[in-house]
Chain A
Amino acid sequence: NAGVTQTPKFQVLKTGQSMTLQCAQDMNHNSMYWYRQDPGMGLRLIYYSASEGTTDKGEVPNGYNVSRLNKREFSLRLESAAPSQTSVYFCASSVGTVGEQFFGPGTRLTVL
């Protein structure tokens, strides 16, 4: 099993550009999450999906949209990137509402 995979690993954008971060898991997990981590800080939840077909806002959703494409895939879209969105983005998944979340390797995004 590959676990949680994220693409791309690195990305540089100019202010105002858009892009989609991809996340996929092969563990048949129900719940998926997107976090961001700014330098020297802990992770903050952007959006999550408790199950296929549902999504909900986390702590810092402004400037982002998500799509739970199917049970495996959960994408994060930046419609108009801003320098404040420079961060490392982590995707995670879990079987259900209690227990371990498995994290991907992260996408390092720089917005100039």
Chain B
Amino acid sequence: DAKTTQPTSMDCAEGRAANLPCNHSTISGNEYVYWYRQIHSQGPQYIIHGLKNNETNEMASLIITEDRKSSTLILPHATLRDTAVYYCIVSRVKAAGNKLTFGGGTRVLVKP
């Protein structure tokens, strides 16, 4: 599975959009981009995933570049409860289960 590169940390202002970048320059055509977050020491929480097209759900939007070498997770209106570590993961679809490889992630601090 392709490796990902994310900033170690970033701050954003409450109420503003938070844009989290992720580089996955070695991604293959059959690999999905997943985003999860982990608040404090809780279990990770799924946010969104995509293959080629941009995706949006009630939590966030995922923008994938045309060459698929990078993506951006957008939290449209960050709140204090969005403070967490955000993981960008690239994973290949396999019949034997979807194995996720978590890197270091981006520690996001939402400030009042």
Contacts and interface: CB of A to CB of B under 8 A. Distances in A.
Interface of A: 4, 31, 33, 35, 41-45, 48-50, 54, 56, 58-59, 88, 90, 92, 94, 96-106
Given A50-B95, A97-B97, A43 B46 contact: no
| Interface size classification for chain B | 20 to 34
B74 to A, nearest CB: 19
Given A42-B87, A106-B43, 14 more contacts: A33-B97, A33-B99, A42-B101, A42-B103, A44-B101, A48-B99, A49-B97, A50-B96, A50-B97, A90-B43, A94-B98, A99-B49, A101-B98, A106-B41
Contacts of B42: 105-106
A43 B95 contact: no
A103 B97 contact: no
B37 to A, nearest CB: 11
B5 to A, nearest CB: 13
Contact of B93 (A49, A58, A97, A100): A97
Nearest to B94: A97
Interface string B63-104: 000000000000000000000000100000111111111111
A103 B43 contact: yes
A101 B37 CA distance: 12
A31 to B, nearest CB: 5
A98 B33 CA distance: 11
Closest 10 A-B residue pairs measured CB to CB?
A103-B43, A42-B102, A50-B97, A100-B46, A43-B102, A50-B96, A31-B97, A48-B97, A97-B98, A103-B44
A41 B97 contact: no
Contacts of B32: 98
Given A88-B41, A92-B43, A105-B42, A97 B49 contact: no
A11 B89 CA distance: 30
Contact of B46 (A58, A90, A102): A102
